[in-house]
Chain A
Amino acid sequence: MNIIDRRLNPSGKSLANRQRFLRRARAQIMKSVREASGGRSITDIAGGERVSIPMDGLREPSFHRSAKGGTRDHVLPGNREYVEGDTIPKPERGDDGDGGPDGSPDGGGEDDFHFILSRDEFLDIFLEDLELPDLVKRNIAKSQSFIPARAGWSVTGSPSNLNLVRTMRNSLSRRIALKRPKSDEMKELEAKIRGLEESGDDPELLSELRLLFDQMLTKSRRVPYIDPVDVRYNRFEQLPKPVTQAVMFCLMDVSGSMTEHMKDLAKRFFMLLYLFLNRRYKHVDIVFIRHTHEAKEVDEDTFFYSTETGGTVVSTALTEMKRIIRARYSPTDWNIYAAQASDGDNTSSDNATSAALLEHDLLPLAQYFAYIEVGAEYKDWLGRETDLWRTYKVVAKPGGNLAMRKVRVRSQIFPVFRELFSREGVNAIL
């Protein structure tokens, strides 16, 4: 009898099946995920999700007999009062459990399939076909660190990189090719010789064998077991290492004109961006800069929850960002993203300064700069463009790395986010 402890076996044996299942149900799951995400808060989104999807394409059909009609006989246990010949009125809709597996009409939800998506799967599907714009090119051009990667074999190297399998394979083929006598054969011959020596039976054969043995011995000395030509080492190549860290600047106007609702919209957008960056980079730093007529780097709580009064001068925030980049986040080592949320107000004298700052100092450094203009839920702002919007519009070029969108209600956040990052040529399903 064997007892085997399988508990330490790698878990997730059914992972491949799960991936196949998710791929199969992709369209349905995607729809369900998108629908679900509209009404939920961002922190929930990151927490995995119970989804239910329609059964289309997930059925496993087989031929089986219908549950209705025909002549049937059932044997049931637990008879109490029936005697042979009794009759029982048929239940009207086959609902009152007479043992038959009648499908009880449980309403429309019957056909849905429920299961739980993990957080990663949820985000994968949710953020699918979103891409960080123009990333790879800049990364590799600027990367300075290297990682070793396996690249074939070499005949020189340090002993720690010795490749035993290759070496022994070469050695074996050389030994076969040069007909080096095998140690088994030599041992056998030696034993034979010793036998003959002891018995002294056949001196002629003995001398013959001795000669043969001597020949084999010299040959095996001449053809070494392992020759320097056999030896192989693992070879490593130095590959440039892409920058895998990013910093995300959150800029927000906190002057009196920003309502709670606007801040909420902004927060949602920031968090989505954070989740997204987190999946693309190993390490993501966040810098919060809030501004009124002056800008300050603050922590997250202060950023979202403390109020401040004052005017609105956007360029202060941009200057602060520029200062922080210079001080802490060298563009060679960091991918820089910025998201700015504002209601669009700015002191008119500041517009030109802001535009110049953005265009000449910040955009060249940043991978991407997103400007989100948040508006009041019910305010009709059709046709009227805000100061900041007009300012930024001049700077924004098609194909550039400045993107601008307006958001008024919560449900617009996800579509706008997807729109900003959707992969080129792919129309996001909204």
Chain B
Amino acid sequence: MPSSDAPSLLFDGADWDFDKVRRVHDSIEEIATTEMGLSTYPNQIEVITAEQMLDAYSSIGMPLMYKHWSFGKHFAADESMYRKGMRGLAYEIVINSSPCISYIMEENTMAMQTLVIAHAAFGHNHFFKNNGLFRQWTDAKGILDYMDFAKGYIMRAEERHGHAAVERVLDGAHALMNNGVHKYPRKKVPDLAADLQRERERQAYFEQTYNDLWRTLPKSPEGVHESRELADRKARLGLPEENLLYFLEKTAPKLAPWQREILRIVRHIAQYFYPQRQTKVMNEGCATMCHYHICHRLHQKGMISDGALLEILHSHTNVVFQPAFDDPRYSGLNPYALGFAMMEDIKRIALTPTAEDRDWFPDIAGCNDPWGALRAAWADYRDESFILQYLSPSVMRKMRLFRLHDEEQAKEIKVAAIHNERGYRDVRQTLARSYDIGRMAPDIQIVDVDLEGDRRLVVQHRVADGILLDEAEAVRTLRQLANLWGYEVRLIEVSAETDVVFKQHEDVGPSE
């Protein structure tokens, strides 16, 4: 073990072996826990080949996944790109599980392995374990067992009911995967005692706030009666329901139990990945922040050589590169770049704040505990709220962010705000919103079912900002929905603000 007064290099040269990986891991762990206060799941580092990395890619990164043709399709596409040299492979894949599994590639040099371990096995790992969304929605201890169950279940279903039947259900479920998550924790079913208690409180409240004036209000007109029937039906079916998969699993009339179980499996997997979709910037920012700091500390302590640090920095710079909007390489904001810039800035604010920072961030400015401030941010925020809370004027200036406003009818695009005193809050708010999946994904709900008539399912898209669904894709997805529902499905697009109907699609029935 290297002692602090007689530092020695952990490794020398590019080749890696298991011993070096272990030594590096242990040294990183010391920095991570004592200096940065990270708390992680136990680590499991797995060395894989390029082909296995491609394998992992195609099955959304899970080590165990059921079989489906779409994964084969992705593999074929990835492989073809990789073989032609059009795309490199990621250096690592990390899985939100306990123990936290990180895959590292055998082709990496030892310096790269150091970077990857700091990045994935500590950065991502800490984020998975501590972020509120992950804690609420995912079960890191159980996921691998669940995936094992899912894989086995679907395999047995295939043996029993045939590939085609299972494929049909999975196709439908995959099409609705994005609409298969609970966005809010479910209401607890109240027990009798709690119900009574609530009723008593309500009575007491009525008595306290009794006002005879209410009696004089005119009665609501007749004709409410019919809509009461509708309201009744909706209440019984739990409508409106935005989790389409959940609704189908519970109420689709034609599904067999095994088909419901498959919907449930896909829904669980979608739910498991839902936090990841909401925390791209934070997750990558946290991991990048960790590897950057840890690798510098290793170098300061004399545990890695100048050459290794330079190699690490070279990769780091590539990762956080953010081309400007008019650069041909531009393809949106780089979550690594944004996350890293914001977190570096939080560290700066905590240590050497300016007057502006004290104004904007009175809580953390000059608190001298950068890691504490960061840990708090990592634990309690998601991308949208994190940007809304922490995107500082200095980062906006550095990245020269500006907001464009584009209206369909207008002939020109307007520059609505730039990085100046008047624009900071505007830019920050708009950027935060663009990371809110609740706003960016279409709001689709099941609003009615005619259970006694032709059993047509009515789905509503509540249109925000006048942006309709992509027509061709919507029709294809409706077909999948109809396949699962078993009867016709109708999609209506209405304005979220005024309930005006924009567009009614033709009814789609199940395919034969």
With A20-B163, A21-B76, A113-B73 given, is the CB distance from A6 to B47 under 8 Å? Answer: yes
Does B79 lie within 8 Å of A116, measured CB to CB?
yes
Residues of chain B lying within 8 A (CB to CB) of residue A77: 322, 324-325, 333, 399-401
A88 to B406, CA, bound (A): 10
Residue A60 at the chain B interface, CB threshold 8 Å? yes
B130 in the interface (beta carbon within 8 A): no
- Whether a CB of chain A sits under 8 angstroms from the CB of B183 is no
A90 pairs with B328, CB closer than 8 A? no
Q: Determine if B469 and A79 form an interchain contact, defined as CB atoms under 8 angstroms apart.
A: no
Please give, as numbers and ranges, the residues of chain B lying within 8 Å of A83 by CB-CB distance.
Answer: 415, 418
Q: A91-107 vs B: 1/0 string, CB under 8 Å?
A: 00000011111000000
* B76 proximity list for chain A (CB < 8 A): 18, 21, 115-116
Question: B407 at the A/B interface (Cβ < 8 Å)?
Answer: yes
B475 and chain A: residue at smallest CB distance: A61
Other-chain contact of A59, B43, B176, B476 (Cβ < 8 Å):
B476
**Does B431 touch A at the CB level, under 8 Å?**
yes
Q: How far is the CA of A16 from the CA of B465 in the complex (A)?
A: 43
Please give me the residue from chain B that is nearest to A5 by CB atom: B47
Interfacial residues of chain A within 57-113, with CB under 8 A of chain B in the complex: 58-67, 69-80, 82-90, 97-101, 113
Write out the residue numbers on chain B whose beta carbons fall within 8 Å of the beta carbon of A58: 73
Cβ of A87 and Cβ of B415 under 8 Å apart? yes
Q: Which of B22, B423, B467 has the most CB of A within 10 A?
A: B467
Q: Are B470 and A66 interface neighbours, CB within 8 A?
A: yes
**Cα distance A30–B410 when bound, in Å?**
49
Is A89 a contact of B69 with CB atoms below 8 Å? Answer: no
Q: How far is the CA of A6 from the CA of B46 in the complex (A)?
A: 6
Are B48 and A20 touching (Cβ within 8 A)? no
Chain A, Cβ-Cβ closest to B104: A3
Q: Measured between alpha carbons, how far is A86 from B413 in the docked complex, in Å?
A: 8
Q: Which chain A residues lie closer than 8 Å to B103 at the CB level?
A: 6
Cα of A358 to Cα of B48 in the assembled complex, Å: 60
B-chain residues with CB within 8 Å of residue A72 when the two chains form the complex: 405-406, 465, 467
Residue of B nearest to A66 (CB): B470
Q: Which residues between 197 and 225 of chain B lie within 8 Å of chain A, taking CB atoms?
A: none
B167 within 8 A of A: yes
Q: Take A63-B469, A75-B403 as given contacts and tell me if A3 and B21 are in contact as well, using a CB distance cutoff of 8 Å.
A: yes
A61:B405 contact, CB within 8 angstroms: no
Known contacts A84-B416, A85-B415; is-contact A73 B406 (Cβ 8 Å): yes
How many Å lie between the Cα of A82 and that of B22 in the bound state?
52
- Check if B68 is an interface residue, CB within 8 A of chain A: yes
Q: In the complex, A232→B177 CA distance in Å?
A: 52
B43 to chain A, nearest CB (A): 5
From A59, A74, A114, residue with most partner B Cβ within 10 Å: A74
Q: Which residues in B have their C-beta under 8 angstroms from that of A97? A: 326, 328, 330
Distance between Cα atoms of A413 and B29 in the complex (Å): 67
List CB contacts (< 8 Å) of A1-36 with chain B: 1-7, 9, 11, 13-14, 16-24
CA separation between A3 and B471, bound complex, in Å? 49
Query: In the complex, A130→B467 CA distance in Å?
Result: 53
Q: Is A50 an interface residue (CB 8 A)?
A: yes
Assuming the contacts A11-B52, A70-B466, A115-B79, asked whether A75 and B427 have C-beta atoms less than 8 A apart, the reply is: yes
Contact between chains at B326 and A3 (CB < 8 Å): no
Selected contact of B434 from candidates A5, A14, A75, CB within 8 Å: A75
Chain A residues whose C-beta falls within 8 Å of the C-beta of B430 in the assembled complex: 73, 75
Docked pose: A9 CA to B56 CA in angstroms: 13
| CB-based contact A63/B411 at 8 Å | no
Asked if residues B470 and A67 are in contact (CB atoms below 8 Å), the reply is yes
B47 adjacent to A18 (CB under 8 Å):
no
Q: Which of A3, A63, A74, A90 contacts B47 (CB 8 A)?
A: A3
Is A80 in contact with B72, judged by CB distance below 8 angstroms? no
- By a CB distance below 8 angstroms, the chain B residues around A76 are 325, 333, 401-404
A87 to B407 CA separation, bound complex (whole angstroms): 12
Residues of A within 8 A of B441 (CB): 64-65
B415→A82 contact, CB < 8 A:
yes
User: How would residues 303 to 333 of chain A score, 1 for a CB under 8 Å from any chain B CB and 0 otherwise?
Assistant: 0000000000000000000000000000000
B408 partner, pick from A64, A67, A70, A73, beta carbons under 8 A = A70
B414 in contact (CB, < 8 A): yes
Q: How far is the CB of B366 from chain A (nearest CB, A)?
A: 28
**Residue B67 interfacial (CB < 8 Å):** yes
Cβ-defined partner of A98 (8 Å) among B327, B413, B419, B476: B413
Residues of B within 8 Å of A90, CB to CB, are 406, 410-413
Q: Which residues of B contact A20 (CB under 8 A)?
A: 67-69, 72, 163, 167
**What residues of B have a CB within 8 angstroms of the CB of A78 in the complex?**
322-327, 330, 399-400
Contact A84 B418, beta carbon cutoff 8 Å: yes
Are B423 and A75 in touch, CB under 8 angstroms? no
Please tell me if the beta carbons of B404 and A17 are within 8 angstroms of each other in the complex. Answer: no
B175 partner residues in chain A, CB cutoff 8 A:
60-62
Chain A residues contacting B411 (CB-CB under 8 Å) are 89-90
Q: Report which of A13, A18, A63 forms a contact with B477, defined as CB distance below 8 A.
A: A63
Q: Known contacts A11-B52, A21-B69, A61-B473; decide if A69 and B408 are in contact (CB<8 Å).
A: yes
Contacts of A73 in B (CB 8 A): 403-406, 416, 430, 433-434
Whether the pair B442, A17 counts as a contact (CB closer than 8 A) is no
Known contacts A6-B47, A20-B163, A62-B477; is-contact A75 B468 (Cβ 8 Å): no
Q: What A residues does B416 contact at CB under 8 A?
A: 73, 84
- 6 cross-chain CB contacts under 8 A: A4-B44, A11-B49, A62-B473, A89-B413, A98-B404, A115-B80
Given contact pairs A66-B469, A84-B423, enumerate 9 new A-B contacts (beta carbons under 8 Å).
A17-B58, A17-B69, A73-B416, A74-B404, A75-B431, A79-B418, A83-B415, A97-B328, A99-B332
10 tightest CB-CB pairs across the interface, nearest first? Answer: A78-B324, A21-B72, A70-B467, A17-B72, A61-B476, A115-B76, A76-B325, A70-B466, A20-B69, A87-B412
